[in-house]
Amino acid sequence: MQSAPASATPAKPGFFDRERTIAKPGFNRWLVPPAALAIHLCIGMAYGFSVFWLPLSHAIGITTSVECAKDLGFFAQMFATDCDWKISTLGWMYTLFFVLLGSSAALWGGWLEKSGPRKAGIVAAFCWCGGLVISALGVHLHQIWMLWLGSGVIGGIGLGLGYISPVSTLIKWFPDRRGMATGMAIMGFGGGAMIGAPLANKLMTHFATPTSVGVMETFLALAAIYFVFMMAGALGYRVPADSWKPAGWTPPVKTKKSMITDNHVHLEVAWKTRQFWLLWGVLCLNVTAGIGIIGMASPMLQEVFGGKLIGLDIAFNDLTMEQKTAIAAVAAGFTGLLSLFNIGGRFFWASLSDKLGRKLTYTIFFLLGLALYAAIPSTAQAGSLALFVAFFCIILSMYGGGFATIPAYLADMFGTRFVGAIHGRLLTAWAAAGIFGPVLVNYIREYQLDHGVARADAYTITMYILSGLLVLGFVCNWLVNEVDEVHHMTAEQHAEEKKIADDTHLHFGADMSALAVEASHSWKVTLAWMAVGIPLAWGVWMTVQKTIILFK
């Protein structure tokens, strides 16, 4: 009998394994951001889902909504097939989106770090697009619970995995420009609605018939389009070898005041540190205030300025239906303008944080935001539309910038080894803010109106309360300091984690020095950026067209 060889050849890694995504020598790192954008531009449609509410609210009646019987209970309405859904019922999708985004990112962030971004991106594609297919079936069968389950729960899981899948990868590819790298990807999430919403409107118009509002067919079409883009993005992901660094770049010399660590903190240690929870508070408070602004921007503009938006000195309550329709069009342009600043702010502020530092950038967010939030009631009372619009635009740029800067902040504090998973757990702050912000704003407004406060003044107290949240955020950010070295992983622990992640790089051999040489791949880079840049440019143009109405 022959004995087995003393050392068997290691099994070849599977196509979806992390080891197969390690970049080969000469790989151009500028191919990775378009892959991330391809996924983020698709899942970012979560922001634009409101375009479906009105058509779905008369899916049975087609031209008008068919109300359910007064005595029909909540659970009975979930299964009723002979009456239309209320917009408030459909709106629960938003809550599910962002609660599931935060919770799934927290639950599976550790798995993502071990399995790699390719596998996570593919799962995200199946969840997000599969959720749309289930929702399409729910529209066909007129079962609201299928929309909640499909896009809300399953799609929400896809949101979470798709959102964090490129974070640690981009940070490792761009150690010299961490903020800019994450800003590029997370900019796509903000821009997804700019492409998806007008595209969905055109598709619904195309598919609408005398017996259908066209939503089911639109869901299926979007699922097919998004699946192609998301799979291309997931398969385009590559991770650098551990020894890789940009050609000609040397890490900056660490100073005593620097908060950027060269070491790594384990996921299970990081979330127990004081710094993690301070940053959790920083993100939660910034997002709570920002979501509150987003939720009130359009109605606040209309109710505060009323007829002045169309050249008439008439209060909102005294406008005719035709005049209210006209100012609603102006408000839609305002919302589009805010979207542009939300997206641009993600790239601008995150890139600027590479120069200023993350802590100083967030200090600007909170102090400048405090001044702007507190000043908005005064601009409204003075009737200064230009200042009102300008203040909102700056605030929305910092709201987007906060999302894009936080991954780099985490990498500075906890190292890059588990930054994707740590970011995933921190996104529970977004889930919490998604509940706090709208509830806080909507209930305060209703309370004001119920007690006889004029519509034009109903937002004043709200703005001051949101300003108070920013003060608390400033305090949290001010208290952030460097993570104590006792929490850093030892060299042995780091080596063991790499082994668990199957990050051995055996198929490259021992010498990794060639990986520092970056090939141009100019045609590949050009094609990759065109694939995401053309749809994004189209979305921006569609938004600009709406925005022009604001300035007419």
Using one digit for the tens of pLDDT, what is the confidence trace for 489-528?
877 776 776 665 544 444 443 344 444 445 555 788 999 9
For residue 247, give every residue at least 6 positions away whose Cβ sits within 8 Å of its Cβ, in sequence order, or none. 516, 517, 518
**Torsion over CA: 407, 410, 412, 417 (sign):** negative
* Least confident segment among 68-77, 93-102, 353-362, 524-533: 68-77
Please say whether the dihedral angle defined by the alpha carbons of residues 432, 434, 440 and 446, taken in this order, is positive or negative.
negative
∠ CA 269-165-417, rounded to 5°: 35
Residue 247, in any domain of the structure = no
Task: Assess whether 293 and 230 both reside in one domain.
Answer: no
Give the pLDDT confidence score for residue 428 in this predicted structure. 92
- Axis-axis angle for helices 215-236, 32-43 (nearest 10): 160
Are 313 and 146 contacting, i.e. CB atoms less than 8 angstroms apart? no
Of 17-31, 120-134, 366-380, 463-477, least confident by mean pLDDT is: 17-31
- Give the CATH number of the domain where residue 39 resides: 1.20.1250.20
Task: Please state, in angstroms and rounded to a whole number, the distance separating the CA atoms of residues 115 and 164.
Answer: 13
Type and span of the H or E element at 389: helix 385-414
**52 vs 219: CA distance, rounded Å:** 10
> In the predicted model, is pLDDT for residue 311 greater than 70?
yes
Distance CA 2, CA 16 (A): 35
pLDDT at 230: 97
What φ, ψ does residue 176 adopt, rounded to 5°? -85, -20
Beta bridge partners of 212: 209
Same domain, residue pair 230 and 321 = no
Are both 493 and 531 inside the same structural domain? no
3-state secondary structure of 22: strand
Region 115-139 average pLDDT: 95
pLDDT digits (tens, 9 = 90+) for 279-292: 999 999 999 988 87
The rounded distance, in Å, linking the Cα atoms of 115 and 120 is 7
Shared-domain flag, residues 283 and 373 = yes
The number of beta carbons lying within 10 Å of the beta carbon of residue 293 is 25
Q: Is residue 136 part of a domain?
A: yes
* 313 in the same domain as 197: no
**Residue 15 counted as domain residue:** no
Domain boundary among 504, 528, 543: 504
**Across 43-58, average pLDDT:** 87
Give yes or no for a contact between 66 and 60, defined as CB atoms under 8 angstroms apart. Answer: yes
Find the farthest-apart pair of alpha carbons in the chain and give their distance in angstroms, rounded.
100
The interaxial angle of helices 92-115 and 117-141, nearest 10 deg, is 150
pLDDT for res 380 = 80
**Are residues 284 and 225 located together in one domain of the fold?**
no
pLDDT score, position 119: 92
Quick check: is 51 in a domain? yes
Q: What pLDDT does residue 258 have?
A: 60
Query: Do 498 and 515 share a structural domain?
Result: no
Out of 42-51, 197-206, 363-372, 543-552, the most confident range is 363-372
Backbone angles phi, psi at 488, to 5 degrees: -70, 145
68-to-83, 191, 210, 213 alpha-carbon distances in Å: 5, 36, 22, 19
Strand spans (E) along 133-253: none
Bridge partners of residue 265, in order along the sequence: 488
424 vs 87: which has the higher pLDDT:
424
Last residue of a domain, one of 467, 482, 504: 504
pTM of the model: 0.84
Residue with tokens 């990807």: 185
Whether the CB-CB separation of 24 and 155 falls below 8 Å is answered with: no
Residue 500 and residue 517 in one domain = no
Q: Which helix (H) or strand (E) holds 216?
A: helix 215-236
Is the predicted pLDDT of residue 387 greater than 70, yes or no?
Answer: yes
Q: How many domains does the chain have?
A: 2
Count of other CB atoms within 10 angstroms of residue 501 = 16
250 lies in some domain: no
Cα angle 540, 542, 544; round to 5: 65
To the nearest whole percent, how much of the chain has pLDDT over 90? 41
Tokens 């569609």 sit at which residue? 542
Q: What is the structure's pLDDT at 365?
A: 96
- Looking at the domain assignment, is residue 429 inside a domain? yes
In this structure, are 192 and 288 located in the same domain?
A: no
Cβ atoms of 15 and 116 within 8 Å: the answer is no
Domain that holds residue 58: 32-65+74-241+510-552
Contact 344, 397 (CB under 8 A): yes
Note the pLDDT of residue 407: 92
User: Do 125 and 111 share a domain, yes or no?
Assistant: yes
Give a yes or no: residue 24 inside a domain: no
Do 224 and 273 lie in one domain? The reply is no
* Cα–Cα separations (whole angstroms), residue 454 to 173, 326, 375, 376: 53, 22, 19, 16
Q: What is the mean pLDDT of residues 128-136?
A: 97
Residue 518's beta-bridge partner residues? 26
Chain segment 84-113, per-residue pLDDT in tens = 888 878 888 888 888 899 899 999 988 888
Has residue 8 been placed in a domain?
Answer: no
Q: Are residues 192 and 307 in the same domain?
A: no
Other CB atoms within a 10 A radius of the CB of residue 81 amount to: 8
